[in-house]
Structures are given as structure tokens and as C-alpha cells.
Amino acid sequence: MSSSDILSNLERFAGQSVLVTGASGFIGLRLVLLLLAHRAQVTFLQRRAEPTALSRDILLADLAEPDFEARIARVWGERRFDTVFNLAAYGVMRSRDSSFEGRRRQRLLAQRVNVDAALALFRHAQKTGSNSFVQAGTCFEYAPLTGEAPRIETDPLDRRDNLDSVIYGVSKARTTEALLRSAPSGTLSLVVARIFNVYGPGEKAERLLPSLVQNLSHCRRVPLSVGLHIKDYLHVDDVVEGLCVLALTTRDRKFQGVLNLSSGLPVSVAQFSRAVAHTIGDCEHLLSFGERPVHPDEVPVLIGSTAARDIFTEWRPRRPLYVGLPSVVRHMMAKG
């Protein structure tokens, strides 16, 4: 699908009613901007009344509260949205609270926000006649496997309940299973988009790319692991375009399943870091590989197969790493 074809396809959102949860997040904000650029009527569902210039149509429901389902029903009511994007999530960044009470709270909120609230949103979308429901999944749903083969959507999911470091991925895997069990009971199309490693403008400062840019651009040494882990990187604007195309495609034909949102291309953390240093210039010597320990629960190779998605849609990512990464690095440097 060419750039002009993608833009023409996205014009179909003009005048359509769209509900977005997680709209203030890294991916959610870029998604909202893209939808508004194509004249969609966007409504936010968020937990607090934060001022925003993007939309005055805001539904308030805190998905972390015990009565989240009643709150959803009360603010949503009988309104019908053509498409629902659920990007709300808990635990994307690992918590620093390792106390017993902290870990208990993390598990409770991961179950409530990631699993139970997603299911409540889906049921309400079914009840009110939405056409498509797009659930933001994650590559961390996959169970660790040996070998370097790209993950396919039917690979085993992570069920390691005894590890605090994988609460997010395990809870999102449960979400996928719960949604797929509920989907056959109605006509609402469902696509769980398993998103791989996203980079781009708006990342939190503690993530790898902003940390590299902030330190290298000020000639500061960056302690890193050995950098041998293989990941699958995708520009955030490719991610949001992909989410929108999947929403439109599932609207055209009934679909209830999972698709990887990935590049399918293996890139090591060391390669990624050196590419950042090369863009900034004359600072690769500041990359201190091997100075930080490798996290014991990190999967050595995590790449997403694109085969199923390529059959489902003609859309392909438009920003390969050698184009997207330098542009993001320069953007971050310009913003200081």
C-alpha cells in the first residue's frame, strides 16, 4: 500500500465517531493526532478531567477503581462509536516499589486495568453497536522461547505468574484470551494488535532512546548491557497508521483475532545504540557496553512475524529504522 493509498484509506475516518482510551500516552497521543488530521470525531475516555486542546468530548472513568464497569456504563451510556481503540494499560514501565504491598497492588491493578476493564469496554462496545474494537496488545505477551524464529500469533503466551518482572506481559496475554473468548458472541470485529518495540517523539525520558540522546548529545558516558538482545523496532507513526488501517479493514470484513504490529526485522540493542551515536556524531566511544547487567527475565530474541498481517492487509510500515531513527534523534536534540 503506497503512501497515497494509506492517506486515501484514512480519509474514511472523516465524520466517524471514535472512542480512544489511553489518549494521553506515548502511542495514544500520536493516534489521536492522526485521527483528528483525518477529521474523525474523537472522544477520550480518561480517568481525570485534564485540560486538552485536542478534544472537548471527554468521558471520565477511572479504570483503576473497583467500580470501573459501572463508571464505564454511566459515562458511555447508549452512545455508539464506529471504532473503539483501547490503549489504556497499567504497568508498561516497571515499578520501583518492590515491597510486598507494592507488588500486590501492581498485580491487582494489572488485572483490573489491563484485563477486566478491557473486557468491560469490549462488552459495552458490543452492546452499543460499534463496528470495530482495536485492542493494543504487546510483544511481551509471548512466552520465552529458544531460537531466533520470528514469533507468530499462535505461539505460546506468557503465564509466569510467579515473576514480578513480567506482570505487564502476563496480564496482557490474559486480556487477549478473555477478549477472544467474548468475541464470538457478537458481530463486533476485534483485532488485538501485538505491538513490538516502539520508538519515536514523546517517549518517556527513562526509555533507551531518550536516555541515549540526552547523554550522548551532552558528551556523557552511557552504561549499557552487552547489547546482544535482538529486538523488533517500529516507528510510533507506523504503529498508529497500522492501528488505523487494521480498524478500517476489520470494519470491512468480520475479523476476531490477533495480528503482530512489527517490522519483522532483527536489530540488536548494540546496533540500535550505535545508530543513535552515529546520528549525533563522534560519540560511539561513550557507549559503555557490558557495564550494566542483563535483566534475567529479558528474552534474548523477540521479533514479530509479519506473515499473517501481510495476508490480512496491504499496509506495510513506511519508516524503516535507517530513516526513522535519525529523524527522531534529530527531533529530540532540537527539543533539547
Average pLDDT of the segment spanning 139-152: 94
Neighbours of 214 (CB within 10 A): 15
Q: Tell me the C-alpha distance between 1 and 287, whole Å.
A: 38
**Please, which pLDDT band fits residue 98 given cuts at 50, 70 and 90?**
confident
Q: Please count the residues of the chain.
A: 336
Q: Answer whether residue 54 shows pLDDT above 90.
A: no
The secondary element (H helix, E strand) that includes residue 112 is: none
37: nearest Cα among 3, 4, 55, 11: 11
90: nearest Cα among 70, 113, 107: 113
The dihedral sign for the CA sequence 227, 228, 229, 230: positive
What's the mean per-residue pLDDT of the chain?
93
Neighbours of 17 (CB within 10 A): 17
Q: Tell me the C-alpha distance between 230 and 299, whole Å.
A: 9
The model's pTM: 0.94
156-215 per-position pLDDT tens digit: 999 988 777 789 999 999 999 999 999 887 789 999 999 999 999 999 999 999 999 999
Q: Answer whether residue 53 shows pLDDT above 70.
A: no
67-90 per-position pLDDT tens digit: 999 999 999 999 999 999 999 999
Average pLDDT of the segment spanning 255-273: 97
Average pLDDT of the segment spanning 84-98: 84
**What pLDDT score was predicted for residue 52?**
66
Half-sphere exposure of 305 (CA within 13 A, CB side): 13
